[in-house]
Amino acid sequence: MATKPGIPKGTRDFSPVEMAKRNYIFDTIRGVYALYGFQQIETPAMENLSTLMGKYGEEGDKLLFKILNSGNFLSGIAPEELGEANTNKLAARLCEKGLRYDLTVPFARYVVQHRDELTMPFKRYQIQPVWRADRPQKGRYREFYQCDADVVGSDSLLNEVELMQIVDTVFTQFGIRVCIKLNNRKILTGIAEMIGAADKIVDITVAIDKLDKIGLDNVNAELKAGGLSDEAVARLQPIISLSGTNKEKLAVMKDVLAESETGLKGIAECEFVLDTLSALGLRNAMELDLTLARGLNYYTGCIFEVKALDVEIGSITGGGRYDNLTGIFGMPGVSGVGISFGADRIFDVLNQLDLYPKETVTGTELLFVNFGAAEAAYCLPVMAQARQAGVRCEIYPDSAKMKKQMSYANAKAVPFVAIVGENEMNEGKVTLKNMATGEQSLLTPDEMINIIKK
């Protein structure tokens, strides 16, 4: 008996309805990016392994999907080398390419490779799949999409302002209520200096970034386990639990970080972004969140994260400012700022809140019943007219029984069916059946099209 086919763990098939929903997400994000002057690029699914290795840390390197060289990939490998079973050493010999792990490193490579062709500042967006050899689990896949936008070649905080407007516009169009959280790496650096633990910045931020997930007591325990003294942890408490309006938080932090030049610069940057946005009338809340950390080894300025207000789920968008995107490829000093929408999580939120517009998941709007060759010949030009008017329609390809054709229409949730027999052909008309109400009307093709379009 033939083995039932399947797909690799951590990957998914998407049905026509799911694809309609996903395309709605991608098209919405793509449209807003274009509205703000961003241009689309694409990079290959595979990159040279030398481009990818060493860019994500030791753990990231382990999660890279490596591609065996073409042809006899074992040529030049001695039997004793195979016997050693040193996978890292063998991978370097057997694999010259790998699947991209994210869109950021390929983008950095793109900027360096095409630097003479780009107009700076360069505003790019990219919506493509990435691959990670991770252990599959709920909400974590080996293949998933990223929807990135970055501005490189500019230090202006107006870029941060514009990216927050993009986030606000996208989620307003989706109908998802969100809170946009803002912090700054420089503020966190200042905090670490203030409590006398500048060398523990990574431990501090990794711990406080888990506050929502594990609670204050566990965060404090993790801070102490990371080497912070009881005094340093105690000095951190008022900052971790700081509440109030954004202005009140900024005022408190100005006093707390009065001796930190770096910290005060971070406060000034956040203040500019928040003040500018408040004058622009965002439809979603902006919150200064001093526990927001994200990947602090990567980010150097403002950092962002977006949380859905009506669904329990992790971050659905994130990003921030980085100072040296292209330095990993020998072109230092190119500052940038970017965001990435979590398409898969947005998909789940829209499903849970049932926010997909009806027309998004509607495929065929009008099905022509096929009674035979003469009737089909009559329907084809009418169908062409309907398509020209923007009506999505099809004809059942075979002159099957009426029940079978209606079952087909119901299975595809087609809202209207056009029935053409001898009487309709003689009158130059069509009988239109509304599948929801069962109502039938004898109409001219123009009348039929107008009803469906309404």
Report the alpha-carbon distance of residue 182 to residue 452 in Å, rounded.
46
Residue 258 forms part of a structural domain: yes
> Confidence band (pLDDT; 50, 70, 90) for 76?
low
The percent of residues above 70 in pLDDT, for the chain, comes to: 94
Give me the pLDDT at residue 83, please.
Answer: 57
- Is the pLDDT confidence value at 59 over 70? yes
Residues 412 and 291 in one domain: no
- Is the pLDDT confidence value at 111 over 90? yes
Report the alpha-carbon distance of residue 351 to residue 336 in Å, rounded.
33
Give Cβ neighbours of residue 70 (< 8 Å, ≥ 6 apart).
Answer: none
- Is the pLDDT confidence value at 24 over 60? yes
Residue 426 forms part of a structural domain: yes
Residues 298 and 371 in one domain: no
Higher pLDDT, 160 or 237: 160
Residues 183 and 299 in one domain: yes
Residue 355 forms part of a structural domain: no
**Candidate from 116-130, 357-371, 393-407 with smallest mean pLDDT:** 357-371
Residue 332 forms part of a structural domain: no
Report the alpha-carbon distance of residue 224 to residue 228 in Å, rounded.
5
Higher pLDDT, 85 or 201: 201
Q: Share the mean pLDDT of the chain.
A: 89
> Confidence band (pLDDT; 50, 70, 90) for 82?
low
Instruction: Give the CATH number for residue 190.
Output: 3.30.930.10
- Is the pLDDT confidence value at 75 over 70? no
Report the alpha-carbon distance of residue 179 to residue 316 in Å, rounded.
10
Q: Domain boundary at 267, 282, 309, which? A: 309
As for how many domains the chain has, the answer is 2
Residues 378 and 446 in one domain: yes
Residues 284 and 401 in one domain: no
User: Average pLDDT in the 383-405 region?
Assistant: 96
* pLDDT tens digits along 282-291: 999 999 998 8
Residues 369 and 254 in one domain: no
User: Average pLDDT in the 233-246 region?
Assistant: 82
Residue 92 forms part of a structural domain: no
* pLDDT tens digits along 359-380: 787 789 999 999 999 999 999 9
> Confidence band (pLDDT; 50, 70, 90) for 225?
confident
- In the annotated binding site for L-histidine, the residues are 102-104, 132, 146, 150, 294, 298-299
Residues 300 and 232 in one domain: yes
CA distances from 201 to 194, 204, 212, 214, 296 (A): 11, 5, 19, 19, 9
Residue 357 forms part of a structural domain: no
Residues 184 and 293 in one domain: yes
Residue 33 forms part of a structural domain: no
Q: Domain boundary at 292, 309, 326, which? A: 309
Residues 186 and 298 in one domain: yes
Q: Smallest Cα–Cα separation from 189: which of 271, 278, 301?
A: 301
- Is the pLDDT confidence value at 268 over 70? yes
Higher pLDDT, 61 or 9: 9
Higher pLDDT, 188 or 202: 188
Residue 299 forms part of a structural domain: yes
Residues 293 and 192 in one domain: yes
Residues 295 and 384 in one domain: no
- Is the pLDDT confidence value at 154 over 80? yes
C-alpha 113, offset from chain centre: 25
Give me the pLDDT at residue 73, please.
Answer: 65
Residues 389 and 275 in one domain: no
Instruction: Give the CATH number for residue 373.
Output: 3.40.50.800
What is the domain range of residue 445?
362-453
- In the annotated binding site, the residues are 102-104, 132, 146, 150, 294, 298-299
The percent of residues above 90 in pLDDT, for the chain, comes to: 64
